[in-house]
Amino acid sequence: MKHLLSINDLDLTGATTILDDAEEFSEVQQRDIKKLPTLRGRTVVNLFFEDSTRTRSSFEIAGKWLSADVINMSAKGSSTSKGESLRDTAMTVAAMGVDALVIRHSASGAPSQVAGWVDCGVVNAGDGMHEHPTQALLDAFTLRRHLRRVHGPDASFAGCRVAIIGDLTHSRVVRSNVLLLNLLGAEVTLVAPRTLMPSGVDAWPVTIADDVDDVLPEMDAVMLLRVQRERMSGGFFPTPREYTIGYGMTRDRLQMLRPEAAIMHPGPMNRGLEISSDAADGAASRILEQVAAGVAVRMSVLYQVLGGNQEGER
């Protein structure tokens, strides 16, 4: 795998390999010595045009535990038409002899564009409203572990029902998750006010529902997405109160879930808006496991991009 720009870059085998390898990396994390020599001598640059301490740190630890040299570069401020062009920024960094760029950008498609300009590998660490493939992979990793706990070690995603609820229009997480969960065989239901549904969602391989309460009792997992309070001023919904009553994972809704259902959230959470503390901190919550899975999954992705000779593939 030369780049990971979108979940579309993966087939079922590729996605499963990343999840399986992540299990091995997760084992390594339990050891006293967490560092593996695998990517010794290779250089990874976290090129972040947008702040994200959580994702950046996760990639940084992943790279370091694989013995890569990891350099963080904040290109914040150059991500506009006024500053240095994206091409100049990317090519300048790549010219330093970098083996992979991990790119976060507020503009959709920026990592794909960069991949067309540079020779090194490019990993999408979240681009605008487009995709966040490593988040989807760590969500799937967490969910697979959950399913195996509930249904035994051979549990698969087939027939697994996942609801994704929240601001879907502006979410890169939902696009990657819909693609990956479908690839793995799960069934996805999207729930949101129509104003927060992406254009053309009817063509997506998902079920669209209006009423959260109809959906919840059927689900094996529920993913809540962050709803930014700023969206209110855009008129996407009238008040936080109305959103919470309509779509929030409240204490009451917690009772509607099946006993073995998982609650997930990519963070950062708006407690009291899309998710109550009872849901976030309760027994069904897998939210901290998601965070813990981040490093193992990103080690697995970096290993795929940098661990072999990519020239023979593609």
Partner 1 sequence: MTARVVMDAAEADRALQRMAHEVLEANGGVDGLVILGIPTRGVPLAERLAAAIERVEGVPVPVGQIDITMYRDDLRRHPTKALGPTRIPVELERHVVVLVDDVLFSGRTVAAALDALKDIGRPRAVQLAVLVDRGHRQLPIRADWVGKDLPTAADEHVAVALAEVDGETAVTISRPGTEGIS
Partner 2 sequence: MTRDLLLTQVGLPDGTTADLAISAGRLVEPGDVNDPQRVDAAGLTALPGLVDPHTHLREPGREDAETIDTGTRAAARGGFTAVCAMANTNPVTDTGEQVAWLHQAARGASAQVVPIGAVTKGLKGEELAELALMARAGVRMFSDDGKCVHDARLMRRALEYLGDVGGVIAQHAQDPRLAGPGACCHEGEVSGRLGLAGWPAVAESVIVARDVQLAQLTGTPVHVCHVSTAETVEVLRWAKAKGMPVTAEVTPHHLMLTVAEVEGYDPTYKVNPPLRTEPDLSALADALVDGTIDMIGTDHAPHADHDKAHAFSDAAFGMLGLEQALAVVVELFVNTGRLDWAGVAERMSHAPARLARITEQGRPLRIGEPANLCLVDPTARATVDRAASASLSRNNPWHGRDLPDPVVGTLWRGEWTYAQEGLL
Applying CB under 8 A, the residues found at the interface with partner 2 are 79-81, 85-88, 105, 107-110, 112-113, 116, 127-131, 169, 172, 175, 198-201, 203-204
239 binds, among partner 2, partner 1, none (CB under 5 to 8 A by kind): none
Beta bridge partners of 105: 127
Beta bridge partners of 69: 43
**Does residue 44 contact residue 99 with C-beta atoms inside 8 Å?**
yes
Q: How far is the CB of 38 from partner 1 (least distance, A)?
A: 4
121-127 and 221-224 beta bridge pairing: unpaired
130 binds, among partner 1, partner 2, none (CB under 5 to 8 A by kind): partner 2
The two three-digit tokens of residue 167, written as one number: 């601001």
38 binds, among partner 2, partner 1, none (CB under 5 to 8 A by kind): partner 1
Q: How far is the CB of 61 from partner 2 (least distance, A)?
A: 27
Binding partner 1 (rule: CB under 8 A), the pick from 83, 246, 267, 307 is: 307
Query: How far is Cα 295 from Cα 26, in angstroms, rounded to an integer?
Result: 8
Q: Residue ranges for the binding site for L-aspartate?
A: 82, 172, 226
Helices (H), 110-250: 110-117, 133-151, 172-184, 212-215, 240-247
Q: How far is the CB of 24 from partner 1 (least distance, A)?
A: 4
* H or E segment and range at residue 305: helix 287-306
Q: How far is the CB of 7 from partner 2 (least distance, A)?
A: 12
Question: Does residue number 9 form part of the binding site for partner 1 (CB under 8 A)?
Answer: no
**Does residue 286 contact residue 146 with C-beta atoms inside 8 Å?**
yes
- For the beta carbon of residue 162, count every other beta carbon within 10 angstroms: 25
Binding partner 1 (rule: CB under 8 A), the pick from 1, 68, 94, 168 is: 1
Q: What percent of the chain is helix, strand and coil (3-state, nearest 5)?
A: 45, 15, 40
The two three-digit tokens of residue 65, written as one number: 């535990």
- Of 38 and 78, nearer to partner 2 (C-beta) is 78
Taking contact as CB under 8 A, which single stretch among the options 14-22, 104-112, 136-144, 284-292 is the one that binds partner 1? 14-22
Question: Does residue number 154 form part of the binding site for partner 1 (CB under 8 A)?
Answer: no
Q: How far is the CB of 102 from partner 2 (least distance, A)?
A: 16
| Residues of span 24-63 touching partner 1 by CB under 8 A | 24-25, 27, 31, 33, 35-38
113 binds, among partner 2, partner 1, none (CB under 5 to 8 A by kind): partner 2
207-209 and 187-191 beta bridge pairing: parallel
Q: End-to-end CA distance of the chain: give it in Å, rounded.
A: 7
- Of 8 and 255, nearer to partner 2 (C-beta) is 8
Peptide linkage before 238 cis (omega within 30 of 0): no
Amino acid letter for position 159: G
Q: How far is the CB of 111 from partner 2 (least distance, A)?
A: 9
Question: Does residue number 235 form part of the binding site for partner 1 (CB under 8 A)?
Answer: no
Question: Does residue number 119 form part of the binding site for partner 1 (CB under 8 A)?
Answer: no
Question: Does residue number 303 form part of the binding site for partner 1 (CB under 8 A)?
Answer: yes
Query: How far is Cα 307 from Cα 30, in angstroms, rounded to an integer?
Result: 22
The two three-digit tokens of residue 77, written as one number: 């401020």
Contacts with partner 1, residue ranges (CB under 8 A): 1, 17, 20-21, 24-25, 27, 31, 33, 35-38, 303-304, 307-310, 312-313
